[in-house]
Amino acid sequence: MRQTSSHKAQTKGNTGYESAEYVTKMNILAWICHPIMSTRTSLPPDLVVEKLTAKTAPPPMFKVILLNDDYTPMEFVVHILEKFFGKNSEDAFRVMLQVHHEGKGVCGVYPFDIASSRVAQVAQYARARQHPLQCVLEPADDA
Ligand code: TYC
């Protein structure tokens, strides 16, 4: 990235930064990653660098919800909760019973890719054993 005159001497109000030569974040990154690729051999001594820490928002989360049906055996549901959702036998039994009595229950909360892959794994595993067990995704965030 080439420095242009418009990049220089940017006014930043009364912060005392007026004399600092303005360098774009890309320019600094290029210098840090590979000085030879950069148009600079060194950074200016009066450089003021804004905080470069990544501002990444946490990913949206999704609940994997297990649905009740009249045909899937209870033991199979407990097995699913242990195998795909890392539950111990006590928690697996508790979630299974909740689904049985209330119609649905949360198996776990994950980012989209993990949640959707768990749903697909459960569907494939249950269908291969002729069980109609269903699980679905639901957004977990309030937004
Ligand atoms: N209702 C089922 C039965 O009585 C058990 C069951 C529990 C099925 C949870 C699905 O997600 C489920 N055999």
Q: In what order do the strands lie in the sheet with 61-67?
A: 104-111, 61-67, 134-139
Torsion 43-45-50-54 (CA) sign: positive
pLDDT of residue 141: 81
If the chain, 143 residues long, is cut into consecutive pieces of 10 residues, what is the mean pLDDT of each piece? 40 42 48 49 63 80 98 98 98 98 98 98 98 98 68
Domains of the chain by residue range: 1-56, 61-139
Torsion 120-126-130-136 (CA) sign: negative
pTM for this model (two decimals)? 0.66
Atom of ligand 1 nearest to the CA of 66: 11
**Nearest protein CA to atom 10 of ligand 1, as residue:** 68
For the domain covering 61-139, report its CATH number: 3.30.1390.10
pLDDT of residue 50: 62
